[in-house]
């Protein structure tokens, strides 16, 4: 299989997705952090067996541990496992990635220097992909050690300005947006769900005005979510970390079709989903 399928009945592109592995040597609540390396190995075996050209880690790759050295060791372990993927690798930053490490410390461990940025965009098979970083405080400072409240996450104004320009430049291209924190508008106990960016409404306005956003894929809310707002589907993936053993794995393959539709093929606890053209 080539990177970009040419047969009309086949997807233009299929990519591997996984979210919230929270790797560390611990278990707490329903989070079996220590099982995530084996879960990820199986996930990547599936992606490699399908010859997928690209995979995206939706964030919270590591969980919080006592000190920076231990955190770095866990990060290096999971990155080494991720390196077994044969295709192009991307990582979205999550709040748990930044509890003991700064963004620079996290990103500098990632082998591909071109991708050592908290937010960026690129094209593949004619599709525009945007990786967002929802890990900022209201005062525009970055999440980092002792400066990181999981339910007080913002997309910085600087990044919103960049996003507007990026989407405008790519206006003729179908665009898929990735963010760890959530950009939809669901409620929890009659208030905005705490997994949402505090300025999710501002970000949605930018996405809607651009007119070329085909889907938003997010993580952070471990149960997974799905809703469509003003024609844009917001797909939340289930967390890999939840539940013990390989029988509780969760990951997905997203396929993009020429008519604008997409599918999520779920594995383990991750449900499958067909998203027709809006």
Q: Using CB under 5 A, list all residues that contact Fe ion.
A: 20, 60, 94-95, 220
Q: Minimal CA–CA distance to 56: which of 180, 165, 161?
A: 180
Nearer to Fe ion, 251 or 256 (CB): 251
- For the bound state, the minimum distance from the C-beta of residue 13 to Fe ion, rounded and expressed in Å, comes to 26
Nearer to Fe ion, 148 or 214 (CB): 148
Nearer to Fe ion, 20 or 57 (CB): 20
What does the chain come to in residues? 278
- For the bound state, the minimum distance from the C-beta of residue 18 to Fe ion, rounded and expressed in Å, comes to 12
How many Cα atoms are found within 13 Å in the side-chain-facing hemisphere of 252?
29
What residue number has its CB nearest to Fe ion?
A: 60
Report yes or no: 54 and 18 within 8 Å, Cβ to Cβ. Answer: no
- For the bound state, the minimum distance from the C-beta of residue 21 to Fe ion, rounded and expressed in Å, comes to 9
Nearer to Fe ion, 174 or 220 (CB): 220
Nearer to Fe ion, 128 or 220 (CB): 220
Query: Residue 103: which region, alpha, beta or left (left: phi > 0; alpha: psi -120 to 50)?
Result: alpha
- For the bound state, the minimum distance from the C-beta of residue 50 to Fe ion, rounded and expressed in Å, comes to 25
Q: Which residues contact 9 (CB under 8 A, 6 or more apart)?
A: none
- For the bound state, the minimum distance from the C-beta of residue 95 to Fe ion, rounded and expressed in Å, comes to 5
Q: Tell me which DSSP letter residue 237 carries.
A: P
Alpha carbon distance 6, 239 (integer Å): 33
* Widest distance between CA atoms in the chain: 52
């Amino acid at each position: 299989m080539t990177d970009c399928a040419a047969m009309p009945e086949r997807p233009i592109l299929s990519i591997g997705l996984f979210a919230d592995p929270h790797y560390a040597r611990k278990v707490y609540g329903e989070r079996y952090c220590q099982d995530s390396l084996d879960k990820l190995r199986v996930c990547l075996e599936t992606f490699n067996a399908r010859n997928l050209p690209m995979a995206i880690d939706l964030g919270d790759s590591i969980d919080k541990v006592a000190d920076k050295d231990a955190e770095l060791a866990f990060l290096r372990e999971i990155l080494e496992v991720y390196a077994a993927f044969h295709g192009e690798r991307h990582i979205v930053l999550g709040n748990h990635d930044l509890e003991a490490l700064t963004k620079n410390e996290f990103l500098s461990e990632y082998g591909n220097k071109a991708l050592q940025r908290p937010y960026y965009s690129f094209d593949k098979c004619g599709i525009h992909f945007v990786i967002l970083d929802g890990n900022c405080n209201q005062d525009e400072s970055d999440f980092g050690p002792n400066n990181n409240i999981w339910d007080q996450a913002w997309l910085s104004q600087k990044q919103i300005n960049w996003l507007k320009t990026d989407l405008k430049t790519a206006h003729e291209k179908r665009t898929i947006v990735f963010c760890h924190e959530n950009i939809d508008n669901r409620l929890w106990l009659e208030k905005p769900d705490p997994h949402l960016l505090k300025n999710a409404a501002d970000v949605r306005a930018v996405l809607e005005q651009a007119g070329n956003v085909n889907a938003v894929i997010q993580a952070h809310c471990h149960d997974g979510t799905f809703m469509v707002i003003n024609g844009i589907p917001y797909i939340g993936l289930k967390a890999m970390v939840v539940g013990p053993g390989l029988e509780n794995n969760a990951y997905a393959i997203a396929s993009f079709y020429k008519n604008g539709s997409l599918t999520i093929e779920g594995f383990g606890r991750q449900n499958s989903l067909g998203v027709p053209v809006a």
